[in-house]
Structure 1
């Protein structure tokens, strides 16, 4: 999905390059100025200003177009964008979580990236095919393009593996569970894995990823929800087993509401493994764990795959960039071309510990180190887009919260059956369709 941070839920306008407030009123903008709403990618809004200000200054130097910057926390961003689609009081350019692409596309408020418009920013071939798959509903003209990429991988503690006699990271799910059991010693306060079990977003991501491995889909080709299938039930059962039947997760896994909380279990030595996105690297470093102390490997996949199962171990995570209609479209496209150019993709994604989304930047040596290359290869080859449907946000909320509820029931001592999982998915679908 998008890069998530634990900043305060306050929207702070950060001026960059110019000393004026953003030109966010309806109608066309000054042709020599654009307003840019950036998503909060760093550890703080201040860090985003520090990172983006020199980049925007470089764009101004090259184009003569000044940029008014506002960095908006994720807690406010979707509401701000949605309000702008109806009021016209929006920016020229905006970052969006890529899973919002189809719902925002349906508003009709954004510039369409048809072949001619794509040609102005380098063409379709400029971008990674998987990242382009999260820019709008299938069969419809995209209204955003990729900006920052992310994917999932497995982080493992090298010393813990060596102490347990494990010589390499697991290559499939069976090995993963077996290794996690070897690494679990409750008496010593050691566990194989830490999860963010109270995070509905993490829970829906794994329900989706494991669902693809089982051959499941949450929507059919017409966009109708198909939540309570045997494949989706089996995927959630597999995920819940880590906490229940397998008993390989830290006690805090059921209460961790964010990935950084799971990271703390990992860096403190309580968990030997975590499953996380690219940005976890920064969180690990912040906690003082040295890169030499851990390894990274692709998330394990079922082997053999069930009938219809896909070789998927991540969703296409990341951030897109879009331009509002009836604004300074020419300036906006020049800015988008700049932000997705090779030089900027290398600089900005390196600073944010994210992945490039363009083919030329992906081959840059800076992203070919063993750790980053694993994430990049996953993004390019074994990731799938979250459902590109207009009610994707409701899908994430209903299914993710449903899984969180099942985890909470496990804590309360309830044995979760497949019928319980099916009932939870059925209830989630009813909420999505307004029937419950």
Structure 2
């Protein structure tokens, strides 16, 4: 089970001595002051996942422009990063700059682990809200504070086989819920183990995303709305694909080969699938495309990605902010795109031909205008995990939708009241 901040804080004294190595390696000095006599300051940066292994290449260019700052990058695996951050919070010894998955922001902001950047925003034109997609900006806010700067983004779009959709009367992607259901049903009618669409029941943002499209606010302050008609209708809609056989309950193979063979000619996923399909299924290069999500009341998608934050206990605030400003420049984000295939958070970068000339990335940019993060509250992860169990009872067990959602709503009330 993943540890909570409260659990780790209780063990602060026990682990404090062990954690000394997490502290900034530079000579301590007053907050925000440059190194005395122009000596070099070491800025410790924690990045997450495989893409963070490319961060030293970006840091090298930053150091060339800022010779008094040395950037020391540590790439942490996602599966261990959360606990390492918790121990850093407990000991008050950690990095100067850290990458934050957008869903982690509420937890660490509430623990006062992330510096409030609001007083600093006007000093750096790179931080202007207008530079970024609104959904990305929302991930950085907690109450009256701003605890990060958008770094890279992702959202969900529809992937579809153009040739197979055309064979059932669709010359373009479905644009509405009704069209999506109709196309999936017609594609599944091919038989021989073929389906119309893949609905990933383990994708915890999917049902909440569709609920928003159906007009659900998800939460009204601290009150969950998961048993209200808008949410129930969205779950009913998603469950209909399983009930009529147009979506498999257990596909038994990875999505790319299933898409390649036409077994599941439609699915919803993020921009990382573009490269995977191009690399693993080159034979269907001209037979697939992406589209913005079909619409009910709206076509809001789920926004993910990462922000960059400054650790509350840094001794090098000014240098950390300078690094964040550098990472927020459109040209830096485009360089990051080349290195890692992760998409820029700054709107200006999306004007670059590398993105505007690629039809699939152009769709991602369009969908970003209708993308919002999941509710930015500390307990959201627990709520979302609980929903996966609820939905399994529905799509696999055949349980009554309203009954299951009444129980889920009650459980969510308990979680939110903690």
Relative to structure 2, which stretch is displaced further, 150-159 or 326-335? 326-335
Paired residues, what number? 384
**1:338 is aligned to 2:326:** yes
Q: 1:359 and 2:347 equivalent?
A: yes
1:300 aligns with 2:298: no
Partners of 1:349 and 1:82 lie apart in 2 by 29
Deviates more, 1:276-285 or 1:28-37: 28-37
Inter-CA distance 388–96: structure 2 relative to 1 (3 Å threshold): same
Q: Which deviates further from its counterpart, 178-187 or 147-156?
A: 178-187
SS in 1 for 2:269: strand
> Do the aligned residues in 1 keep the contact of 2:22 with 2:88 (CA within 8 Å)?
no
Given candidates 259, 273, 284, the residue that maps to 1:280 is 273
- 1:147 is paired with a residue whose SS is strand
Question: By how many angstroms is 1:329 displaced?
Answer: 1.4
Aligned to 1:92: 96
CA drift of 1:350 comes to 4.0
Matched, 1:130 2:118: no
- Deviation at 1:276? 0.6
Secondary structure of the equivalent of 1:168?
coil
Q: Which moved more, 1:285-294 or 1:326-335?
A: 285-294
1:266 equivalent in alignment to 2:259? yes
Cα distance in 2 for partners of 1:429, 1:211 equals: 16
Displacement of 1:22 in angstroms is 6.7
Q: 1:73 to 1:185 in 2, by over 3 A?
A: farther
Match of 1:72 among 72, 76, 95: 76
Partner of 1:113: 117
TM-score (norm 2): 0.84
The DSSP-based 3-state class of the residue aligned with 1:183 is helix
The alpha-carbon deviation at position 421 of structure 1 amounts to 3.2
CA radius of gyration, larger in: 2
Does the 8 A contact of 1:102 with 1:135 survive in 2? no
Distance 1:27 1:174 in 2: 63
Between 1:78-87 and 1:418-427, the stretch displaced more is 418-427
- Over 3 Å counting, the alpha-carbon distance change for 1:286 and 1:367 in structure 2 is same
- Change in 2 beyond 3 A, CA 1:109/1:118: farther
Q: Residue 220 of structure 2 aligns with which residue?
A: 220
Q: Secondary structure at the match of 1:331?
A: helix
Say whether the 8 Å CA contact 2:168–2:186 is kept in structure 1.
yes
Contact 2:103–2:376 (CA under 8 A) maintained in structure 1: yes
Q: Residue 143 of structure 1: CA displacement?
A: 0.5
Deviation per CA, 1:201-250, whole angstroms, max 9, x where unpaired? x1x312211111222122213x3433322221111111111111x32113
1:189 is aligned to 2:177: no
In 2, the alpha carbon distance for the partners of 1:262 and 1:425 equals 29
CA-atom RMSD in angstroms: 2.5
Q: Does 1:314 align with 2:301?
A: yes
Residues in 2 aligned to 1:68 and 1:362: alpha-carbon distance in whole angstroms: 29
Residues 356-383 of structure 1: per-residue CA shift (max 9 Å, x gap): 211321222222122111111111x211
Is residue 377 from structure 1 mapped to residue 375 from structure 2 by the alignment?
A: no
Structure 2 CA distance for aligned equivalents of residues 34 and 173 of structure 1: 49
Contact preservation (8 Å) 1:315, 1:384: yes
Call closer, same or farther: CA 1:396–1:121 in 2, change over 3 Å: farther
Tell me, what secondary structure is at the counterpart of 1:280?
Answer: helix
Shift of 1:180: 0.9
Q: 1:322 to 1:174 in 2, by over 3 A?
A: same
Deviations 1:373-409 (A, max 9, x none): 1111111x21122112122222222223322343332
Deviation of residue 174 (structure 1)?
A: 0.5
1:105 Cα deviation from its structure 2 partner:
1.3
Deviation at 1:169, TM superposition (A): 0.9
Match of 1:32 in 2: 41
Question: 2:166–2:172: 8 Å Cα contact kept in structure 1?
Answer: no
Instruction: Give the match's secondary structure for 1:169.
Output: coil
* Partner Cα separation in structure 2 for residue 431 and residue 236 of structure 1: 21
Provide the C-alpha distance between the structure 1 equivalents of 2:285 and 2:342, rounded to a whole number of angstroms: 16
Q: Distance in 2 between matches of 1:358 and 1:398?
A: 34
**Pairing partner for 1:403 from 370, 381, 391:** 391
